[in-house]
Amino acid sequence: MGKKVAFGILLSFVLTAMSFAKGPTILSLQDSIQRALRYNLNVQIAKMEVEEAKLELKKQEATFKPQASISAAPLQWEGKYNLQYNPQVDFNASFSNQWGTNVTLSASQEKGENERMEGSTSLTVIQKILPAPKLTPFYLSLKKSFLSLKKEELSSEEEIENIKLLVITSFYKILEEEKECELKKLSLEKAKENLTIVKDKLKKGMANKIDVMDAEIGLIKAEEEFYQVKNNLSQSMIDFKELLGIKPDKEIVLRDKTSLKDRILKIKLEDAVNQALENNRQINQQKFAVEMRQLDLLTTKSEVSPSLNFLAGYNYNTQGLNKEEYRVGMLVEIPLLDGEKGKTEIQIAEQELKKEKLNLEKLKQDICGKIRDNFYELKSLEKRILFLKLSREKQKEALDLTKRMFSQGALTLQEVRERERSLIQAEIDYIEALAEYELAKARLLKNIGKGI
């Protein structure tokens, strides 16, 4: 029994040790983006809206597939005083296509007076001739559902790119705030050392109580600033975890693994503009909006225009005497007077179409302007990053030299702290420049219509 208890305690200790040994999850920028695309709720909602649009299109397509139904009353009695057993069966089927053809078949059977089952069968075919078959309301409605699906797909892609932008912003914000914490921690240590030095000077008569109070105030201020940046970092980390769908108690560490060489985006301004005019999601969405307005105009014109339909039918009836009927003809509808309502509706549809076309041209101008701004911003940031990278490397060399001179007694600890602060500030400046570059690159890729 004692061995079992000892084994249980040992197993529990090993499992606990393994859980601690696992440590925090390390995430790069790309890891963070991929996780957000898998677990972010906004992305999932956007994908569901696309699925809804697909189902709506599928529902519209069902209109052009065969339809059939059957109804039966096998247990039915009819009559005023003497109920007679009178079962009935009805069958209906129909088929429509995008070319304006409509076929209807119906059949029914019921018990007749001679106790025999009697019925009728009817087949009708209608072919639209004018306006053009492709202007039928059903066909135009199907086309609009298809365009709506394409718009939803582009909206979903746009939402995904916006989430990527948000991840990039949050990722570098946390890296910057972590360096800010290091900087404020150094300031706090310096304030503590300064207070110790001032108190020592007070004992030696080289400082007064006011100097001590000033040092204490400096320490309080340094503690408050350190607490503030630490609190900001904690809040940023909570928001970042929520963005990625990570539990608040899960520990994560962010690491920027991308080399400077891999960051640089190589593209010509002319190529970027041409790609944007072809692939930009907002421009393509507006193109679909123009097409939908064109369909609205066609629908309005077809509703107020004369219509011509070819009609053919066959009917067979067994009730009483067997009788067959054939029908062939033309059905013409010509609107005469509507108080110019139809004409006004056409004019309204034409104005809406013109407005959407103007919106498209305006959007193209705006996107091209954004492309140019993004491009020149990117080129400027490339040079700034190179300068800051060189400055950071020089600060590292200067810190190493300062530490060696301190170990030789040539410099003070405060001078080492100042050099450490300078290095951290150089790293903060570098991270800020990287963040601005990544965001500018992401905005350019987004405006071009490429994935970030």
Range from 18-22, 350-354, 394-398, 427-431 carrying the lowest mean pLDDT: 18-22
Full domain range(s) for residue 194: 36-65+134-257
What sign for the dihedral angle of Cα 256, 257, 258, 260? positive
Q: What's residue 81's pLDDT? A: 61
Domain of residue 229, CATH code = 1.20.1600.10
Q: Does the pLDDT value for residue 20 go beyond 60?
A: no
Q: What's residue 353's pLDDT? A: 96
156 within a domain of the structure (yes/no): yes
pLDDT-derived band at 307 (thresholds 50, 70, 90) equals confident
CA distance linking residue 381 with residue 432, whole number of Å: 10
pLDDT digits (tens, 9 = 90+) for 172-225: 999 999 999 999 998 999 899 899 999 998 888 888 989 999 999 999 999 999
362 within a domain of the structure (yes/no): no
Count of structural domains, the chain: 1
Q: Please state the separation of Cα 75 from the chain's center in Å.
A: 56
Q: Does the pLDDT value for residue 387 go beyond 50?
A: yes
227 within a domain of the structure (yes/no): yes
pLDDT-derived band at 7 (thresholds 50, 70, 90) equals very low
Report residue 255: phi and psi, to 5°.
Answer: -135, 125
Residues 145/295, Cβ–Cβ less than 8 Å: no
Q: Does the pLDDT value for residue 165 go beyond 70?
A: yes
Q: Does the pLDDT value for residue 334 go beyond 90?
A: no
CA distances for 98 relative to 123, 139, 327, 338, angstroms: 20, 6, 24, 29
143 within a domain of the structure (yes/no): yes
309 within a domain of the structure (yes/no): no
45 within a domain of the structure (yes/no): yes
What sign for the dihedral angle of Cα 166, 171, 175, 181? positive
DSSP 419-434: HHHHHHHHHHHHHHHH
Report residue 257: phi and psi, to 5°.
Answer: -95, -5
Report the 10 Å Cβ neighbour count for 118.
16
180 within a domain of the structure (yes/no): yes
Rg (CA), the chain: 39
CA distance linking residue 293 with residue 290, whole number of Å: 5
pLDDT digits (tens, 9 = 90+) for 184-193: 998 999 899 8
pLDDT digits (tens, 9 = 90+) for 97-151: 877 888 999 988 876 555 566 788 899 998 888 776 666 777 788 888 899 899 9
249 within a domain of the structure (yes/no): yes
Q: What is the mean pLDDT of the chain?
A: 86
Q: Does the pLDDT value for residue 71 go beyond 70?
A: yes
For the whole model, what pTM was predicted? 0.75
Report the 10 Å Cβ neighbour count for 224.
11
Q: Does the pLDDT value for residue 371 go beyond 70?
A: yes
